[in-house]
Structure 1
Amino acid sequence: MSDKTTSQFIREYKRASKSPWNDSSTILLLANVKTSDNDEMELSFEQYIYLHRDSAGRSLGVSISQSLLNSHTEFDSKYLADIDMIALLLIHIDDIRSFCELFADEFEDVFLIEPSSYFEVAESQWLNKLENI
């Protein structure tokens, strides 16, 4: 398990969130990744997906960048929950899986399973939820 005290993957709020939920932290599920001149990973946020969680760690919904919202006209808000959240996650599951692999140690610290296995199971569960609505 990782012992870092700061993370680009998980952010605990120090001030109130702008989201519509009573959330206390986010997990970054997707962002743009660039490699710097000294071969270090740099994140940029032209496209992003954050998972919002309450103080008990429960998932409340996701927020998405304006560019993702613009490319998905089926959604009318950058804050998505329930079926809309699941649909968006399924649309981007391959990119999310690849992104989370970059933070595999931190991901496993949070979810107790490595990203590829987690998303394999999640994809099946999420598809099942959409098929049963």
Structure 2
Amino acid sequence: MSQNPLVRVYQRKSKSPWEDASTFLLLADIANENTLELSFGRYIYLHKDAGGRMLGVSVSRSIQEDLECSQYIEANSMQLVLSHYSQDISEFCEKFPAEFEAVFGLPPDVYLLVAAAYWS
């Protein structure tokens, strides 16, 4: 089984304020549409613990400036960020349907339609 490019499992402690074991990339810039090469001028990572529980998100400096928020946002406060970027997140994740479904159990369009209604 090939490695999921959207998932990063930590080999050592992360710099985040949480006891996280992995992240899932919800948003990044696409540097090359043909190869889906990513660039990270703008990103949102979902942080999860070893049991898969969502702990919060970390965001790029450009998103911090756009929303006037901190880099790390707790799970109970992350809806604002996710709601604001829901269309961008959806468009990004739909470029990786198999990788997304392997983690969330549903295709990105279905999952994110429901999630966006919750985030609003």
Following the alignment from structure 1 to structure 2, what is the Cα–Cα distance between the partners of residues 122 and 41?
24
Partner of residue 95, structure 2: 102
Following the alignment from structure 2 to structure 1, what is the Cα–Cα distance between the partners of residues 58 and 98?
23
Q: Deviations over 1:77-116 (max 9, x none)?
A: 1101134311100000000011111111011111110001
Partner of residue 15, structure 1: 12
Say which of 38, 42, 65 aligns to 2:37.
Answer: 42
Following the alignment from structure 1 to structure 2, what is the Cα–Cα distance between the partners of residues 126 and 30?
16
The structure with the larger Rg is: 1
Contact 2:7 2:25 in 1 (8 A): yes
List gaps (5 residues or longer) in structure 1: 128-133
Structure 1 residue 35 displacement after superposition:
1.3
Partner of residue 33, structure 1: 30
Partner of residue 88, structure 1: 81
Following the alignment from structure 1 to structure 2, what is the Cα–Cα distance between the partners of residues 125 and 118?
11
Partner of residue 130, structure 1: none
The amino acid across from 1:98 in the alignment is E
Partner of residue 110, structure 2: 117
Q: Percent identity?
A: 44
Give the TM-score taking structure 2 as reference length: 0.94
Q: Helix, strand or coil for the counterpart of 1:19?
A: coil
Contact 2:29 2:39 in 1 (8 A): yes
Q: Helix, strand or coil for the counterpart of 1:14?
A: coil
The amino acid across from 2:113 in the alignment is E
Contact 2:54 2:75 in 1 (8 A): no
**Aligned residue-pair number:** 120
Partner of residue 51, structure 2: 56
Q: Helix, strand or coil for the counterpart of 1:40?
A: coil
List gaps (5 residues or longer) in structure 2: none
